[in-house]
Amino acid sequence: MANAASIPAAAAPKGKQHDPHAAPPKIVAIDPPQEFVREPLVLNGRSLGWLTERIAGVCEGKMPLWWWPAFIVSAGLMTMMFALVAYLISTGVGVWGLNNPAAWAWDITNFVFWIGIGHAGTLISAVLFLLRQKWRTSINRAAEAMTLIAVVCAGIFPVIHTGRVWFALMPGWLIPAPNANYIWPQFRSPLLWDVFAVSTYGTVSLLFWYVGLIPDLATLRDRAKNKVRGFFYGLFALGWTGSNRHWSNYEKAYMIFAGLSTPLVLSVHSIVSFDFAVSNVPGWHTTIFPPYFVAGAIFSGFAMVLTLMVPMRTLFKLQDIITTRHVELMCKVILATGSIVGYAYGMEFFIAWYGGSPYELYAFKNRAFGPYWWAYWTMITCNVISPHLFWFKWCRTNMVFVFFVSIVVNIGMWFERFVIIVTSLHRDYLPASWGYFAPTWVDVFTFVGSFGLFLTLFLLFIRFLPVIAISEVKGVTPQADPHHPLGGAKGGHH
Amino acid sequence: MSANAKIYGLLAQFDTAAGIFEAALQVRDAGYRKWDVFTPFPIHGMDDAMGLKNSKVGYFTFCGGFVGFFTGMTMIWYMNKFDYPLVVGGKPLFTPLYAFPVSYELTILLGAFATLGGMLALNRLPKLYNPLFKSERFKKATDDKFFICIEATDPKFAEARAMLEKAGAAAIELVED
Residues 84-143 of A with CB under 8 A from B: none
CB B144 within 8 A of CB B7: no
Residues of chain B in contact with residue A251, where contact means CB-CB under 8 angstroms, are: 42, 55
8 Å CB contact of A186 and B122: no
CB A204 within 8 A of CB A261: yes
pLDDT score at B5? 53
Residues of chain B in contact with residue A487, where contact means CB-CB under 8 angstroms, are: 16-18
Domain ranges of chain B: 3-54+128-176, 57-122
pLDDT digits (tens, 9 = 90+) for A361-385: 999 999 999 999 999 999 999 999 9
Does the CB of B148 have a partner CB in chain A at under 8 Å?
A: no
pLDDT average, residue stretch A406-414: 95
pLDDT score at A342? 95
pLDDT average, residue stretch A75-102: 94
Question: Is residue A410 included in any domain, yes or no?
Answer: yes
Please state, in angstroms and rounded to a whole number, the distance separating the CA atoms of residues A83 and A450.
Answer: 12
pTM reported for the whole predicted model? 0.90
A299 CB contacts (<8 Å, ≥6 apart)? A334, A337, A338, A340, A341, A383, A387, A409, A413
Question: Is residue A336 included in any domain, yes or no?
Answer: yes
pLDDT score at A491? 58
pLDDT score at A1? 41
Is residue A168 scored above 70 in pLDDT? yes
| Percent with pLDDT over 70 in chain A | 94
Please state, in angstroms and rounded to a whole number, the distance separating the CA atoms of residues A439 and A104.
Answer: 11
Question: Would you call the peptide bond into A485 cis, given omega within 30 degrees of 0 as the criterion?
Answer: no
Residue A204 has its nearest CB partner, among B15, B47, B109, at B109
Question: Is residue A206 included in any domain, yes or no?
Answer: yes
Is residue A11 scored above 50 in pLDDT? no
Average pLDDT, chain A: 89
Is residue B67 scored above 90 in pLDDT? yes
8 Å CB contact of B101 and A252: no
pLDDT average, residue stretch A26-37: 74
CB A492 within 8 A of CB A187: no
Q: How confident is the model at residue A122 (pLDDT cuts 50, 70, 90)?
A: confident
pLDDT score at A6? 45
Question: Is residue A488 included in any domain, yes or no?
Answer: no
Q: Is B8 helix (H, G, I), strand (E, B) or coil?
A: strand
**Predicted ipTM?**
0.93
CA angle (B90, B102, A198) in 5-degree steps = 120
pLDDT average, residue stretch B23-31: 91
| CA-based nearest residue to B150, from B165, B139, B137, B140 | B165
Whole-number Cα distances in Å, B110 to A118, A130, A186: 21, 21, 22
Whole-number Cα distances in Å, B70 to B65, B84, B116: 9, 20, 20
Question: Is residue A487 included in any domain, yes or no?
Answer: no
**CATH number of the domain located at residue range(s) B3-54+128-176 in this protein:** 3.30.70
Please state, in angstroms and rounded to a whole number, the distance separating the CA atoms of residues A353 and B56.
Answer: 55
Look at A145-154, A155-164, A300-309, A344-353 and tell me which has the smallest mean pLDDT: A155-164
Domains held by chain A: number: 1
A252 CB contacts (<8 Å, ≥6 apart)? B54, B55, B57, B58, B119
Q: How far is A101 from chain B (nearest CA, A)?
A: 21
Question: Is residue A423 included in any domain, yes or no?
Answer: yes
Question: Is residue A434 included in any domain, yes or no?
Answer: yes
pLDDT average, residue stretch B7-36: 91
Secondary structure, 3-state, chain A = CHHHCCCCCCCCCCCCCCCCCCCCCCCCCCCCCHHHCCCCCCHHHCCHHHHHHHHHHHHHCCCCCCHHHHHHHHHHHHHHHHHHHHHHHHHCHHHCCCECCECCCHHHHHHHHHHHHHHHHHHHHHHHHHCCCHHHHHCHHHHHHHHHHHHHHHHHHHHHCCCCHHHHHCECCCECCCCCCCCCCCCCCHHHHHHHHHHHHHHHHHHHHHHHHHHHHHHHHHHCCCHHHHHHHHHHHCCCCCEHHHHHHHHHHHHHHHHHHHHHHHHHHHHHHHHHHCCCCCCCCCCCHHHHHHHHHHHHHHHHHHHHHHHHHHHCCCCCCCCHHHHHHHHHHHHHHHHHHHHHHHHHHHHHHHCCCHHHHHHHHHHHHCCCHHHHHHHHHHHHHHHHHHHCHHHHHCHHHHHHHHHHHHHHHHHHHHHHHHHHHHCCCCHHHCCCCCCCHHHHHHHHHHHHHHHHHHHHHHHHCCCCCHHHHHHCCHHHCCCCHHHCCCCCCC
Q: How confident is the model at residue A480 (pLDDT cuts 50, 70, 90)?
A: confident
CATH number, domain of A17, equals 1.20.1630.10
Nearest CA in chain B to A481: B17
Look at A411-415, A461-465, B48-52, B63-67 and tell me which has the smallest mean pLDDT: B48-52
pLDDT score at A41? 85
Which of A167 and A183 is assigned the larger pLDDT? A183
Residue A242 has its nearest CB partner, among B38, B91, B122, at B38
CB A337 within 8 A of CB A296: yes
- For A218, the domain range is 2-481
CB A107 within 8 A of CB A154: no
8 Å CB contact of B57 and A252: yes
8 Å CB contact of B17 and A188: no
Q: How far is A477 from chain B (nearest CA, A)?
A: 11
pLDDT score at A302? 93
Is residue A482 scored above 60 in pLDDT? yes
A118 CB contacts (<8 Å, ≥6 apart)? A146, A147, A148, A150, A151, A154, A201, A205, A297, A301
Nearest CA in chain A to B34: A245
Is residue A9 scored above 70 in pLDDT? no
Nearest CA in chain A to B41: A471
Whole-number Cα distances in Å, A449 to A184, A302, A416: 35, 22, 20
